[in-house]
Structure 1
Amino acid sequence: MTSANTRVPGDLSASAPARALAPDLARGFMLLLIAIANVSTYLWARPVPIYTLHPRDGSPIDTALSALAILFVDARVYPMFAFLFGYGMVQFARSRQAKGVPQRSIDRVLLRRHLWLVAFGFVHAALLFSGDILGAYGLTGLALTALLFWRSDRVVGIVASAMLGLAALGTVLLSGALALAALFVPAEFLASAATDEGFADGVLGAGIEDYGRSMLDRIGSWLIQTPATVLMLLVPACVLLGWIAGRHRWLEVATSRLELGAAALWGTLVSVAAALPLALLSLGALPESMLLGLGFSLISSLGGVAGGIAYAALFGLLARRLGERPGAAARAVAAVGKRSLSSYLLQSILLAPLLSAWGFGLGARIGTAAAFALALGAWLLSLVFAVLLERRGARGPAEVLLRKLSYGREASSVRP
Structure 2
Amino acid sequence: MSHNTDRSESPPASGAVPATQRSLAPDLARGFMLLIIATVHAHLFRDFAGAGGFSLAGPLDVGTTAVMALFAENRGYPMFAALFGYGLAQILRRRTAEGREWPWVRRLLRRRGRWLVVIGVAHTALLFHGDIIAVYGLIALVFTAALGMGDRRLLTHAFAWMAAGSLFYALASTLLFSAAAQSTGADVTWLSDALARLAVFPSFLPLMFALSVFPFLIGVWAGRRRLLEEPWRHLPLLRRTAAWGVGTSVAGGVPQALINIEVWNAAPAAEAVVFWLHLLTGYAGGFGYAAVIALIALRLDRRRDGRRGPVATALAATGQRSMTCYLLQSVAWLALIPPYTLDIGASLSDAQAVALGTAVWLATVVLAEALRRAGFRRGPAEWFLRRMTYGRPPEPASPG
Shared fold (TM-score, shorter chain, > 0.5)? yes
CA 110–259 in structure 1, closer or farther in 2 if over 3 Å, else same: same
Structure 1 residue 293 displacement after superposition: 2.5
Q: Point out where structure 2 has 5 or more consecutive residues left out of the alignment.
A: 6-16, 396-400
* Per-residue deviation, 1:159: 1.5
Q: Relative to structure 1, is the Cα distance of residues 382 and 168 closer, same or farther in structure 2, using a 3 angstrom cutoff? A: closer
Select which of 395, 400, 403 maps to 2:383: 400
- The match for 2:221 is 244
TM-superposed deviation, 1:155: 2.1
Number of matched pairs: 369
Aligned residues of 2:169 and 2:207 also touching (Cα < 8 A): no
- Separation (CA, whole Å) in 2 of partners of 1:412 and 1:62: 55
Q: Distance in 2 between matches of 1:169 and 1:124?
A: 27
RMSD: 2.8
Asked if 2 retains the 8 angstrom alpha-carbon contact of 1:62 and 1:367, the reply is yes
Letter in 2 for 1:243: V
Q: TM-score, normalised by structure 2?
A: 0.85
Cα offsets for 1:162-197 (capped at 9, x unmatched): 22243477699x69xx9xxxxxxxxxxxxxx97976
Residue by residue over 1:316-345, the C-alpha shift from the partner in whole angstroms, topping out at 9 and shown as x without a partner, is: 100111015311110100000000000000
Query: TM-score normalised to the size of structure 1?
Result: 0.82
Q: Which residue of 1 aligns with 2:110?
A: 111
Q: Offset at 1:158?
A: 2.0
Structure-2 separation of matches of 1:208 and 1:298:
34
| Distance in structure 2 (CA, Å) of the matches to 1:39 and 1:29 | 16
**1: CA distance between counterparts of 2:321 and 2:159?**
31
Q: Distance between the aligned counterparts of 1:219 and 1:150, measured in 2? A: 34
Please give the residue correspondences for 1:7-406 in structure 2 after superposition, counting only pairs within 5 Å. Answer: 18-43=21-46, 44-48=49-53, 55-56=54-55, 58-145=57-144, 147-167=145-165, 209-230=188-209, 232=210, 234-253=211-230, 255-323=233-301, 325-394=307-376, 395-406=378-389
SS in 1 for 2:148: coil
Gaps (5+ residues) in structure 1?
A: 6-15, 49-54, 179-192
Q: For 1:365 and 1:195, locate their aligned partners in 2 and report how far apart those are by CA, in whole Å.
A: 24
Query: Does the aligned pair in 2 maintain the 1:46–1:197 contact within 8 Å?
Result: no
1:261-308: CA deviations, max 9, x gaps? Answer: 110110112212222111011222212544432331121011111111
Distance verdict in 2 for CA 1:100–1:400, change over 3 Å? same
Deviation at 1:248, TM superposition (A): 0.6
Quote the residue 2:8 is aligned against. none
Partners of 2:236 and 2:365 in 1: CA distance: 31
SS of residue in 2 equivalent to 1:149: helix
Q: Letter of the aligned partner of 1:62 in structure 2? A: D
Letter aligned with residue 241 of structure 2: A
Going from structure 1 to structure 2, the CA distance change for 1:357 and 1:289 (only over 3 Å counts) comes to farther
1:205-239 deviations in Å (ceiling 9; x for gaps): xx853111111111122221111222x3x311111
